[in-house]
Amino acid sequence: MKQSIKLFRHVLWSLSMLFLITATSNAKEVTGIMDKFEPKKVAEHTWVILGPLTGPSVANKGFMNNPAFVVTDKSVVVIDPGSSLYVGRALLKKIRKITDKPITHVFNTHIHGDHWLGNQAMLEENPKAEIYAHPQMIAEAKAGEAEAWISLLEKLTEGISKGTEAVIPANALEDGQKITIDNITVKMHFTAKAHTTTDAMFEILEDKVLITGDNAFRDRSPRLDDGSYVGNMTAMDNALKLDVTVVIPGHGPAGGKEVLSDFREFLYIIYDSTKTLLEEDAEAFEMKPIIVKKMAKFKGWENFDGAIGKLISVAVLEAENE
């Protein structure tokens, strides 16, 4: 009798293992996302992976942002873990080459899905990790933006990102709030409507690092459809006053404070020229060649030609409402 129970148990165990193996092999994985990217140390505790400058596509498998992480005494703090479950997993693999400390805190800079849908991978690894964002980011994600971004990224990557689920941050931040994690303090900087109405910038005090999210772009033209020129320029002015030496933009290479002043100049040229031209009763189509000429310094930025028309239309709308 004992023997047959043993056999029965063994069969059950074998069956369950078979099921597990089948389930695992059916689970989708997307590999090679960050093969050509390595974490770059930008300060004593802070690292960043500078993502592709191109928009989400089949070629970049949806990866296009600058995921950053801070290694504290006991844990890892991640900022913007990317656009999908698979980008988040690729990021984790890179982090694990550097440290085996647990991911305990995740911060999201704003509502755009290319920055935060990788949250899912962070919780997959540590279900106890706390995820933080601007309260408006959380509200908009819940009100439909999360699903809209999942669909958009699935479309732009032709299904590569499929399987990603929205893990909406559970913790709402406050402007000026400081969160101390072991030996590191993260300070929040909110802005009025800048890139969006959901932006939080993160200052890593001990490292004198500022992570701007998409309030600053470098080498890639921004999308300002959800934002404001005046608000975004104010965000740059406020950031320029901070005691930081390293600036990590939402897209493009990290640098010093010139990241902030250059992007402010980018916005200023478009907005100021648009206002002047409006006063001269110019039509939008007449503005483009004049403004493009003034933007010589930025012409080499990724997607400049593709973005400039829309950027001028947004400037016209804002200037007319001012």
Q: Spell out the residues 6+ positions from residue 143 whose beta carbon is closer than 8 angstroms to its own.
A: none
Supply 37's token pair. Answer: 């990217």
The size of the interface with Zn ion (CB under 5 A), counted in residues, is: 2
Closest approach of Zn ion to the CB of residue 251, in Å: 8
| Interface region with Zn ion, contact rule CB under 5 A, candidates 52-60, 69-77, 111-119, 132-140 | 111-119
Q: Are 51 and 251 in contact (CB under 8 A)?
A: yes
CB of residue 235 vs Zn ion: minimum separation in angstroms?
A: 13
The phi, psi pair for 296, rounded to 5°, reads -45, -40
The CB-of-300 to Zn ion minimum distance in angstroms stands at 21
Residue (112 or 264) nearer to Zn ion, CB: 112
Task: Give Cα 306 to chain centroid, integer Å.
Answer: 21
- Using the contact rule CB under 5 A, the part of the chain among 136-144, 211-219, 241-249, 304-312 near Zn ion is 211-219
Stretch of residues binding Zn ion (CB under 5 A), selected from 22-30, 74-82, 108-116, 184-192: 108-116
CA dihedral 51, 52, 57, 62 (to 10 degrees): 0
User: Segment contacting Zn ion (CB under 5 A): 1-9, 87-95, 208-216, 272-280?
Assistant: 208-216
Q: State the minimum distance, in angstroms, from the CB of residue 275 to Zn ion.
A: 24
Q: Which amino acid is at 304?
A: F
Q: Check binding of 214 to Zn ion (CB under 5 A).
A: yes
Q: Which is nearer to Zn ion, 112 or 134 (CB)?
A: 112
| Nearest-approach distance from CB 112 to Zn ion, in angstroms | 3
Verify binding: residue 112, Zn ion, rule CB under 5 A: yes
Angle between helices 258-279 and 304-321 (to 10 degrees): 60
Q: How far is the CB of 83 from Zn ion (least distance, A)?
A: 11
- Would you state the structure tokens that stand for residue 11, as one six-digit string? 């069969």
**Residue closest to 223 by CA, chosen among 315, 133, 291:** 315
CB-neighbour burial class of residue 290 (10 A; exposed 0-12, middle 13-18, buried 19+): middle
Binding residues for Zn ion, per CB under 5 A? 112, 214
